[in-house]
C-alpha cells in the first residue's frame, strides 16, 4: 500500500491544502461569535480579544460593523464563509475520491495479474472461493476501512491541531485541562479495538469458506440433486454461515461500542470544561470574558467529533489491516515459474523435444522419476497409464505450468526455462477433457488469446472443427452468447469449440488430454473427425486412458508409478507381451 500511495504525492498535498483552507474558514466563522455577542448584549465592539479584533478588522473591510444592520451583516458574512468552507471541504473529498478509486483499481489489477502469473500448483492448495473473496471482498474492505481511515487522517488532524492552537491562544489554562482529558478517549477506544485485526482476519477466512461452498454447490448442482444431497449441502452451508455470522456479530458489537463510549467521553469532557471555564468567568478577577468563553465552548465542541472520528478511523484501520494481510499473501506468493532475464528467441519448432532425467514431486510426494523421452517433430506420441501414473503431469511440465524438481526439458536443444514464457507457450495448443468456455460469444471463445485474428480465420477454424453447421443454425452465428461456461451446449459441441480454438492458434504442437473421453459414440465420432483434421502436419502429444483411441500413434509410451516402463508402436508392444498387452486385454473384457 505504501508503494501505491507514493504515486499520488501531488494530489495528497492538494487534499491537505484544501482541508487546511476549509479549517481556516471554519475558525474564522467561530471567531465571529465573540463580536456578535458583544454587539448583541453590549451594543459595541470594545474590549475584544486580540484574535477577534483581527477578524473584526478583516470583516470591517467588507461590511460596516458599526451600522444598525451590522448583526445581520455578520450573520450573512458567516454564512458565506461557511459556504466557502464546505466548498473547499467538498473539493478535498472530490480529489480524495479519485485517489481512492485509482488506488483500488490499481490494486485489483495487480492482484488479478498476480493470480494469472502464479503457478497452477498454488491454487491446488487454495479454495477458489477464498481466492475470489480476497480479490473482490478484501479489496473492497481495504477501500472501506483503510482508505476511509486515510481520508480521516488527512482531514481531522488539521482540524484538531489548528482549533487547539486557537483554543490555547484564547485560554492556555483552560486548554491545558481540556488537552489532558482528550487522550482518555483515544486510550479507551484503542483498548476496545485492539483485537479487531485478528477477529477481522478470522471473519474473512470464514467468509472465504462460505463463498467456496456456494461456488462448489453451483458447479456440482446436478450431482447434489441427483444424489438427493440437498439436506447435506444445506447443513454444511448453515454451519459455515453460522460460524461467519457469529464472528461478524462479535466484530459489530465490539466496533459499535466505540461510538457510545467516545460520545459519552466527549460530553463528559465538555461538561468538565464548562465547569472549569465557568469558574474562570465568574471569579472575582476573571481570566476570561463571557463572550470569549462562549466562543471557546463553541470551538471546543468542534474538536470532539474529529477526535471521535480519529478513534473510529484507528479502529477501522486495524480491521482493514487483516484485509491487506490476506491480499498480500497472494501478492507476496512466490511465482516459481519465472521469466529468464535474457530469454532465448523462439519463433518456431524445428527438431525435437527431449525429457532428460526429469523428476517431479508435489508436496514431497514423488510423481515422476527419471523420465527420459524424445519426441520428434511431426510425431504422434501417446502417453498411457493408469490414473496417477503421471501422464497429465508430463503435459503440464511440457507447457511449463510447473518446473521439474530435477532434470530438464529441452525444446530444440534449449532448456525451456531459457525461453520467454509467452513465446514458448505459443508453441502449444491444448484440447482437454475438461473443456473451459467463458460466458461470452462463440467468436470470443474461439479467438481467445488471439489479438489480430480475423473473422474469416475463426470461420475456417469452426469448419475444420466440424462445428460450423451448428454455428450457422444460431440466429446470431458467431456472436451468439453461450451463457455460463457453455452449459447449454452438448458435450460434443463444447469440445469442438475448444478444438476450433486450438485451430485458430495454429500452434505447431497439439496436446490432447483425454479429449474424447466420457462421450457418446456419435459425439466421439464427430470430435474425433475434428481432431483428425487438426492433427495434420502437427506434432501431437496424446494423453489417453482408453487404449483403443491411440493404437495408430507413431509411438505409445506407457507410464506406471511415475516411470516409463514400455514404449513402441501398438504392434511392437503387443509382441513384447508386457503390461501394455495386459491392459489391452483388460479393456477388451470390460
pLDDT in tens, 468-490: 888 888 888 888 888 777 777 88
Place of cell 510425431: 379
Helix %, strand %, coil % of the chain (to 5): 65, 10, 25
State how far Cα 524 lies from the chain centre: 40
- Give CA–CA dist 576/580, Å, rounded: 9
CB 358 within 8 A of CB 397: yes
Sequence spans of domains, the chain: 92-331, 352-589
- Which grid cell is 518? 466420457
C-alpha 43 chain-centroid distance: 64
Neighbouring CB atoms inside 10 A of 243's CB total: 17
Please tell me the predicted confidence (pLDDT) of residue 245. 80
Nearest to 110 by CA among 331, 325, 324, 322: 331
Looking at residue 68, what is its pLDDT? 44
Strand order, beta sheet including 352-362: 365-376, 352-362, 406-411, 414-415
Tell me the HSE value of 545 on the side-chain side, using a 13 A CA sphere.
14
Nearest CA among 402, 408, 414, 411 for reference residue 377: 411
Per-residue cell: 120: 497452477
CB contact at 8 A, 27 and 14: no
Q: Which three cell numbers stand for residue 571?
A: 504392434
Which residues touch 81 (CB under 8 Å, ≥6 apart)? 25, 28, 29
Query: Shortest CA distance to 251 belongs to which of 195, 209, 207?
Result: 195
Q: How far apart are the first and last CA of the chain?
A: 60
| Cα 171-173-175 angle, rounded to 5 deg | 70
Pairing mode, strands 352-362 and 406-411: antiparallel
pLDDT in tens, the chain (590 residues): 455 457 777 888 888 899 999 988 888 888 878 777 877 777 666 777 777 777 777 766 666 655 545 677 677 778 888 899 999 989 988 888 888 888 888 888 888 888 777 777 777 666 666 777 777 778 777 877 777 788 888 888 888 888 888 888 888 888 887 777 666 656 665 565 555 656 766 777 777 777 777 766 766 665 566 556 677 778 877 888 888 788 777 777 766 666 666 667 667 777 887 888 788 877 776 677 788 888 888 888 888 778 777 777 777 777 777 778 888 887 887 777 788 889 998 989 999 999 999 999 887 788 999 999 999 999 999 999 888 888 888 988 998 888 898 999 999 999 999 999 888 988 998 888 777 778 788 888 888 877 778 888 888 888 888 888 888 888 888 888 887 777 778 878 888 888 888 888 888 998 888 766 655 566 667 677 777 777 888 899 988 877 777 888 899 999 998 999 999 999 999 998 888 888 888 877 65
CB 531 within 8 A of CB 380: no
Give 503-507 contacts, CB < 8 A, sequence gap 24+: 503/429, 503/460, 503/461, 503/464, 503/465, 503/533, 503/534, 504/446, 504/447, 504/450, 504/453, 504/457, 504/458, 504/461, 505/426, 505/429, 505/449, 505/450, 506/429, 507/426, 507/427, 507/428, 507/429, 507/538
Long-range contacts of 52-59 (CB under 8 A, 24+ apart): 52/292, 52/295, 55/28, 55/31, 59/32
Distances (CA, A) of 173 to 44, 276, 566, 586: 28, 10, 94, 98
| CA–CA gap between residue 458 and residue 443 (Å, rounded) | 7
H-type alpha helices, 257-289: 258-282
352-589 classified as CATH 3.40.50.300? yes
pLDDT score of 563:
93
Residues 6+ away with beta carbon under 8 Å from 568: 555, 556, 576
Evaluate whether the domain defined by 92-331 bears CATH number 1.20.120.80: no
Phi, psi (deg, nearest 5) at residue 376: -85, 155
Do the Cβ atoms of 196 and 251 come closer than 8 Å? Answer: yes
Q: What is the pLDDT of residue 424?
A: 92
Check residue 187 and give its pLDDT: 64
Backbone angles phi, psi at 542, to 5 degrees: -105, 130
Q: What is the dihedral of CA 185, 191, 193, 196, to 10 degrees?
A: 170
Locate 176 and state its grid cell: 491545558
Query: CA angle, corner 380, sides to 379 and 383, nearest 5?
Result: 130
Compute the distance between CA of residue 426 and CA of residue 449 in angstroms, rounded to an integer: 10
515: phi then psi, degrees, rounded to nearest 5: -65, -20
Residue 7, φ and ψ in degrees, nearest 5 = -75, -15
Amino acid at each position: 500500500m505504501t508503494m501505491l500511495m507514493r504515486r499520488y504525492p501531488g494530489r495528497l498535498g492538494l487534499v491537505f491544502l484544501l482541508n487546511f483552507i476549509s479549517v481556516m474558514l471554519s475558525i474564522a466563522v467561530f471567531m465571529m461569535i465573540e463580536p456578535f455577542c458583544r454587539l448583541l448584549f453590549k451594543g459595541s465592539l470594545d474590549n475584544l480579544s486580540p484574535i477577534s479584533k483581527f477578524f473584526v478588522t478583516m470583516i470591517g473591510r467588507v461590511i460596516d460593523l458599526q451600522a444598525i444592520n451590522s448583526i445581520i451583516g455578520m450573520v450573512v458574512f458567516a454564512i458565506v464563509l461557511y459556504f466557502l468552507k464546505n466548498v473547499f471541504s467538498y473539493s478535498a473529498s472530490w480529489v480524495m475520491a479519485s485517489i481512492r478509486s485509482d488506488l483500488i483499481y490499481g490494486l485489483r489489477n495487480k492482484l488479478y495479474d498476480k493470480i494469472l502469473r502464479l503457478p497452477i500448483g498454488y491454487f491446488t492448495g487454495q479454495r477458489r472461493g477464498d481466492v475470489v473473496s480476497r480479490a473482490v471482498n478484501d479489496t473492497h474492505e481495504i477501500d472501506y476501512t483503510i482508505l476511509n481511515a486515510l481520508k480521516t487522517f488527512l482531514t481531522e488532524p488539521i482540524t484538531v491541531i489548528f482549533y487547539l492552537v486557537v483554543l490555547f491562544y484564547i485560554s492556555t489554562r483552560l486548554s491545558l485541562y481540556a488537552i489532558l482529558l482528550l487522550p482518555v478517549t483515544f486510550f479507551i477506544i484503542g483498548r476496545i479495538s485492539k483485537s479487531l485485526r485478528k477477529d477481522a482476519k478470522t471473519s474473512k477466512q470464514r467468509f472465504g469458506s462460505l463463498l467456496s461452498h456456494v461456488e462448489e454447490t453451483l458447479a456440482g448442482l446436478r450431482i447434489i440433486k441427483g444424489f438427493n444431497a440437498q439436506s447435506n449441502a444445506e447443513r454444511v452451508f448453515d454451519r459455515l454461515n453460522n460460524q461467519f455470522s457469529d464472528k461478524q456479530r462479535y466484530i459489530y458489537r465490539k466496533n459499535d461500542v466505540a461510538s457510545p463510549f467516545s460520545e459519552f467521553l466527549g460530553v463528559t469532557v465538555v461538561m468538565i470544561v464548562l465547569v472549569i471555564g465557568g469558574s474562570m468567568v465568574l471569579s472575582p478577577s476573571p481570566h476570561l470574558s463571557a463572550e470569549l468563553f462562549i466562543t471557546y465552548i463553541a470551538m471546543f465542541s468542534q474538536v470532539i467529533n474529529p477526535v471521535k472520528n480519529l478513534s473510529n478511523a484507528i479502529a477501522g484501520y486495524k480491521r482493514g489491516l487483516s484485509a491487506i494481510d490476506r491480499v498480500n499473501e497472494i501478492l507476496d506468493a512466490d511465482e516459481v515459474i519465472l521469466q529468464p532475464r535474457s530469454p532465448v528467441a523462439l519463433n518456431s519448432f524445428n527438431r525435437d523435444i527431449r525429457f532428460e532425467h526429469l523428476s517431479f514431486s508435489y508436496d514431497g510426494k514423488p510423481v515422476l522419476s527419471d523420465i527420459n523421452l524424445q519426441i520428434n517433430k511431426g510425431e504422434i506420441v501417446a502417453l498411457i497409464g493408469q490414473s496417477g501414473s503421471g501422464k497429465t503431469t508430463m503435459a503440464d511440465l511440457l507447457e511449463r505450468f510447473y518446473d521439474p524438481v530435477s532434470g530438464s526439458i529441452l525444446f530444440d536443444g534449449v532448456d525451456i526455462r531459457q525461453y520467454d514464457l509467452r513465446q514458448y507457450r505459443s508453441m502449444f495448443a491444448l484440447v482437454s477433457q475438461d473443456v473451459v468456455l467463458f460466458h461470452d460469444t462463440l467468436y470470443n471463445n474461439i479467438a481467445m488469446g488471439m489479438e489480430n485474428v480475423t473473422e474469416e480465420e475463426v470461420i475456417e477454424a469452426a469448419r475444420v472443427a466440424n462445428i460450423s453447421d451448428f454455428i450457422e443454425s444460431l440466429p446470431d452465428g458467431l456472436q451468439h452468447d453461450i451463457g455460463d461456461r457453455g452449459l447449454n451446449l452438448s458435450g460434443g459441441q463444447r469440445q469442438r469449440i475448444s478444438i476450433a480454438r486450438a485451430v485458430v492458434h495454429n500452434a505447431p504442437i497439439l496436446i490432447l488430454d483425454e479429449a474424447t473421453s466420457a462421450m457418446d459414440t456419435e459425439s466421439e465420432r464427430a470430435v474425433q473427425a475434428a481432431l483428425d483434421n487438426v492433427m495434420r502436419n502437427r506434432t501431437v502429444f496424446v494423453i489417453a486412458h482408453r487404449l483403443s483411441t491411440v493404437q495408430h500413434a507413431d509411438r505409445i509410451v506407457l507410464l506406471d508409478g511415475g516411470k516409463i516402463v514400455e514404449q513402441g508402436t501398438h504392434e511392437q508392444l503387443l509382441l513384447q507381451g508386457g503390461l501394455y498387452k495386459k491392459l489391452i486385454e483388460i479393456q477388451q473384457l470390460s
